[in-house]
Structure 1
Amino acid sequence: MNRRTKIAALAAAALITAGAAGSAVASGDGKGGSREAAALTGTAKLYRPAGDDITFTFDAHLAAKDQRDPTKATGTFRFSHYIGDWGGSADVKVDCLTTGGKVAVVTGVITRSDGVLAPSLGKRVGISVHDLGKHDRLGYSWMASNDPTKDEVPKCTSAAPFEKTKAGTGDFKVLPWQVPYN
């Protein structure tokens, strides 16, 4: 084999190997493993001109092995709402997570609540998030009544992300779900 043919064959082999490795990394987590199917993480405060202190924090995940069933999502989220001496907070155990592009919907059952949110213990609530960098938006299932004890929802449901986050606090991260069609 002449020198040019050997160089061309080696170059082609190197490109094929690099392409295959690149495809494996692109479909995985960049570290040789597979990435989770979907995720919603981060914390932000909602914007309210009256000065309400409303915070939402998420740590919700759907494992790659469960990509066909968003009700196998795990994790928690927390929300609180205070203004003056009035308010309360709640911790929620995730029971569903769906994402599409930069939008996520997560639901879960309240496992701990206090203050004005104490009666919501054991209720399912839903939250939607639109990850827009530092200008994230958020919606919640109890928007019609303004009371999570009245608007319990089925799994994987919430209102559209209609609320704005307070400037500089939006850091929600949505990992898009790769819907398995086959």
Structure 2
Amino acid sequence: MTSLSLPARRTATATIAALVAGFTLCTSSIASSAEQRTDHRRPGAARIVGSGDFVLPYLSDNDVRSFSFDAVAAPYSIPRPKIPTGLPVDARGTVRISHHSADQNVTYTSEGQVECLVTGPNMATVTALITKVSHEETGSLGKRVGLSVYDGGKGGKADRVGFSWNGVNLLPNSEDAEVGTCMAPAPYAPVVKGGYTVTHAELAPLPRP
């Protein structure tokens, strides 16, 4: 093995140190750029907003039915028995429901507090606890309802909604079944006025212990 003189060894050592410093700086820059790209691409919270009138495909009448949504995901924000951390589907916001009966010339309204939201591309499922009603005889106060939305694109012409009452959530004895969190049927009713915007986001990871 050829030995280096003292000056040569110093030069070689300086060169290696410079290379290590440069490599470290380059690696740091790459990591920083990667972090910036990751932050830039990080999805926002799942959300659904909008208001629309819809019709029932199996019924022809002059009633006016509508839903309004202003809901956003709030993961792990609602502690539950045996689940103190809450769930990744926790959400907050408001759902407003309106049904004008043409035969009775009466408009029934209710308002619910959103508790759960799950989205997929162009779709959302929401459940809410009814906190206000215009007519107590409807029996919906305090109940959980499930609603679904399909965002068909700009203008709302292809939007659709679904909901957990009116014969789609029955037990074998024809009584209404209890609705679970984020449970609703597929959006089967076409929107004829207004529309909705669904912002999809993946469910948040489990909180660290």
Cα 1:56–1:27 change in 2 (3 A) is same
**What residue is the counterpart of 1:62 in the other structure?**
73
CA distance in 2, matches of 1:145, 1:124: 15
CA distance in 1, matches of 2:62, 2:169: 17
1:19 Cα deviation from its structure 2 partner: 6.5
CA distance in 1, matches of 2:75, 2:89: 13
**What residue is the counterpart of 2:55 in the other structure?**
47
CA distance in 2, matches of 1:121, 1:92: 9
Cα 1:65–1:26 change in 2 (3 A) is farther
Q: Does 1:24 align with 2:39?
A: yes
Cα 1:98–1:26 change in 2 (3 A) is same
**What residue is the counterpart of 1:8 in the other structure?**
none
TM-score normalized by the length of structure 1 = 0.73
Q: 1:14-163 counterparts in 2 under 5 A?
A: 21-27=36-42, 35-36=44-45, 38-47=46-55, 49-63=60-74, 69-84=87-102, 85-115=105-135, 118-133=138-153, 134=156, 135-144=158-167, 150-163=176-189
Cα 1:141–1:70 change in 2 (3 A) is farther
Could you give the per-residue CA deviations for residues 129-152 of structure 1, whole angstroms, max 9, x where no partner exists?
Answer: 0111222110000031699x9443
Cα 1:116–1:83 change in 2 (3 A) is farther
Amino acid in the other structure paired with 2:53: K
Contact 1:70 1:98 in 2 (8 A): no
CA distance in 2, matches of 1:160, 1:83: 24
CA distance in 1, matches of 2:39, 2:126: 29
Amino acid in the other structure paired with 1:174: V
Cα 1:146–1:73 change in 2 (3 A) is closer
CA RMSD of the aligned region, Å?
3.2
1:54 Cα deviation from its structure 2 partner: 1.0
Cα 1:146–1:54 change in 2 (3 A) is farther
CA distance in 2, matches of 1:117, 1:104: 30
1:23 Cα deviation from its structure 2 partner: 3.6
Contact 1:88 1:116 in 2 (8 A): no
The structure number with the bigger radius of gyration is 2
1:120 Cα deviation from its structure 2 partner: 0.8
CA distance in 2, matches of 1:107, 1:64: 14
Structure 1 residue runs without a partner (length 5+): 1-11, 29-34
Contact 2:52 2:191 in 1 (8 A): yes
Structure 2 residue runs without a partner (length 5+): 1-25, 78-85
Secondary structure, counterpart of 1:92 in structure 2: strand
* Identical aligned residues as a percent: 32
Secondary structure, counterpart of 2:194 in structure 1: coil
TM-score normalized by the length of structure 2 = 0.65
**What residue is the counterpart of 2:9 in the other structure?**
none
Cα 1:180–1:61 change in 2 (3 A) is closer
